[in-house]
Amino acid sequence: MTLLRHTRGGEIAERHALTINPAKTCQPIGAMYAALGIHRCLPHSHGSQGCCSYHRSTLSRHYKEPVMAATSSFTEGSSVFGGQANLHQAISNIFTVYQPDVIAVHTTCLSETIGDDIPQIAEKAAELGLIPEGKYVIHANTPSYVGAAPTGFANMTSAMVKYFSESTSPTKTAGRVNVIPGWVEPADMREIKRIVAAMGLDLILLPDTSDVLDCPQTGIHEMFPKGGTTIDQLRATGDSCATIALGPVCSGPAAKELTAKCGVRHATLPLPIGLEATDQFILELRKHNGGYVPQEIADERGRLIDLITDMHQYFYHKTAALWGDPDQLVSLSQLLMTVDILPKYVVTGTPGKKFLKRMADVLEDRKTDVEVRQGPGADLFLLHQWIKNDPVDLLIGNTYGKYISRDDGIPLVRHGFPILDRVGHQYFPTVGYRGAIRLLEQILDVFLQRQDDDCPEEQFELTM
Ligand code: SF4
């Protein structure tokens, strides 16, 4: 409740060694989410039980699905002498009891500080016969003190390429693209698959959490749901004709890795949230399908334009405050600029190159009217102080913004991760033209509800 009543405006002190209510989540959560997008994969947290419980429970609370993951369960002994024995025991137990095809190990702050060498430990496990034939142990280093959830997602996705991608021929498969979707909802992954299929292309989506974290209720618990990118698909990424990385922070590193390892050329685009970013995605896909855009996609774009025209009168001159992951923030800001809402305050605790430059490009001549911060001091406390000094009309971000919303009476549109206090968000995509329609409908809804709630009776209208 610290945010709710104790933030004051006035002069804002510069902080260098203190973060209050961070605008980021810890790095292994991103790695765990990415690993869940491999078919029959069990994520494994190499560290203490507390870290793993936190990561699992946060994912479970956001997706309202059971999230399976294992842990090396460090005790005082492993904290001093290293976690090799724990990881060997874990690998043996997991393959014996749960029988996944892949164990995806990510590190935590503790195992990184000790300096455990995961490839060496996995090699030793193979020598000891702990990894059955046809099964795999992959890894990503994810110390949270140098990254955040998006970098964890990026590191684990890069690991998929490092461990599995193969180039079997210098001639690449025409008409088949890899798409690295970034950390988006399972519904977004489903929507990306629909768009690429509508463009007439074959697709390998890596990772793919649809049908993993949005499973239908069947009454039967599946340890490994039917979704996820298969190992065969991961191998085949090296033979695709191109890779499209959606979001430079989450998806850029794996795309670069694939180019270096298998010679698959790549394009790194913004996350396709909003009109312009989706246009870029469609234009990139068009390079691989002979240059056409099907009527279905053109119609969706047309409907979005029509909706923007209808809604613009309500959006014009409004202001918003945003927090979250860099890839999301850049595309969201661009969407808001398109409809004449100024993203007045933008903060992210996630490190990543070029965020400030990307934001400046999106804001164009309004960049001097906008506060953008990144890094340890770019937290929700700072954001709230700015809002106290000069309020905005709208908040867009994860659940943690509800304290600011309640304290200052500003409507909140929940977006990003985690959303802990609502159900159903994971079923509605925000990518693509249809996703933008959904987002704009959510935004307009809170504006008009505010108008209904606050206006005098003589201005309370049935038709708006
Ligand atoms: S920040 Fe580090 S110690 Fe804390 S939960 Fe994440 S990995 Fe564990």
Token duo for residue 58: 């946060």
Ligand 1: which residue has its CA nearest to atom 2? 109
The answer to whether the beta carbons of residues 23 and 101 sit under 8 Å apart is: no
Torsion of the alpha carbons at 105, 151, 383 and 5, rounded to the nearest 10: 0
Ligand 1 centroid distance, CA of 58 (Å): 12
26 lines ligand 1 (CB under 6 A): yes
pLDDT of residue 3: 52
Give the angle 45-41-218 at the CA atoms, nearest 5°: 115
Q: How far apart are CA 323 and CA 235, in angstroms?
A: 36
Round the average pLDDT of the chain to a whole number and report it: 96
Number of the ligand 1 atom closest to the C-alpha atom of 55: 5
144 lines ligand 1 (CB under 6 A): yes
343 lines ligand 1 (CB under 6 A): no
pLDDT one-digit tens code per residue, 278-313: 999 999 999 999 999 999 999 999 999 999 999 999
pLDDT one-digit tens code per residue, 166-200: 999 999 999 999 999 999 999 999 999 999 999 99
109 lines ligand 1 (CB under 6 A): yes
Ligand 1: which residue has its CA nearest to atom 3? 109
What structural domains does the chain harbor? 2-21+297-454 (3.40.50.1980), 27-164 (3.40.50.1980), 173-293 (3.40.50.1980)
pLDDT of residue 189: 98
Strands of the sheet with 240-246, listed across from one edge:
202-205, 173-180, 240-246, 266-269
Ligand 1 centroid distance, CA of 369 (Å): 36
pLDDT of residue 2: 52
Say which amino acid occupies 337: M
* pTM, to two decimals: 0.96
Ligand 1 centroid distance, CA of 220 (Å): 32
Q: How far apart are CA 45 and CA 242, in angstroms?
A: 32
The answer to whether the beta carbons of residues 105 and 46 sit under 8 Å apart is: yes
Number of the ligand 1 atom closest to the C-alpha atom of 109: 2
Q: Strands (DSSP E) along 300-458, which ranges?
A: 318-323, 341-348, 371-374, 394-397, 412-414
pLDDT of residue 176: 98
Token duo for residue 220: 């039967």
Q: If phi over 0 gives left and psi between -120 and 50 gives alpha, with beta otherwise, what is residue 115?
A: left
Token duo for residue 227: 């979704």
Ligand 1: which residue has its CA nearest to atom 4? 51
Ligand 1: which residue has its CA nearest to atom 7? 108
Number of the ligand 1 atom closest to the C-alpha atom of 108: 7
Ligand 1 centroid distance, CA of 110 (Å): 8
pLDDT of residue 16: 81
pLDDT of residue 79: 87
Strands of the sheet with 412-414, listed across from one edge:
371-374, 341-348, 318-323, 394-397, 412-414
pLDDT of residue 206: 98
Torsion of the alpha carbons at 22, 419, 244 and 134, rounded to the nearest 10: 100
148 lines ligand 1 (CB under 6 A): no
Ligand 1 centroid distance, CA of 415 (Å): 23
Q: How far apart are CA 341 and CA 335, in angstroms?
A: 9
Q: Which residue stretches of the chain have pLDDT < 50?
A: 1
